[in-house]
Amino acid sequence: MIGLGKMGGNMARRLRAKGFEVVGFNLDASATEVLAKEAGLIAADSIEALLAKLDPPRCVWLMLPAGESTEATIEQLRALLQPGDILVDGANSNYKDSIRRGRQLAEAGILFVDAGVSGGVWGLENGYALMVGATDAAFARIQPMIEALAPATDRGWVHAGPVGSGHYVKMIHNGIEYGLMQAYAEGFALLRGKEEFKLDLAAIAESWRHGSVVRSWLLDLTADVLAADQELAEVEPFVADSGEGRWTAMEGIEQGIPTPVMSLALMARFGSQGQQDYSSKLLAMMRQQFGGHAVRSHKPDTDA
Active site residues: 170, 177
- Residues sharing a CB contact under 8 Å with residue 142, sequence separation 6 or more, in sequence order: 59, 86, 88, 113, 132, 134
- For residues 141 and 294, what is the distance between their CA atoms, to the nearest angstrom? 67
Helix, strand, or coil (residue 23): strand
Q: Are 103 and 114 contacting, i.e. CB atoms less than 8 angstroms apart?
A: no
- For residues 76 and 150, what is the distance between their CA atoms, to the nearest angstrom? 29
What is the torsion angle, in degrees rounded to the nearest 10, for the CA atoms of residue 118, residue 253, residue 237 and residue 202?
-60
CA-wise closest residue to 113 among 125, 93, 128: 93
- For residues 22 and 264, what is the distance between their CA atoms, to the nearest angstrom? 42
- Residues sharing a CB contact under 8 Å with residue 63, sequence separation 6 or more, in sequence order: 1, 2, 3, 4, 5, 7, 8, 11, 90, 91, 117
CA-wise closest residue to 146 among 99, 88, 81: 88
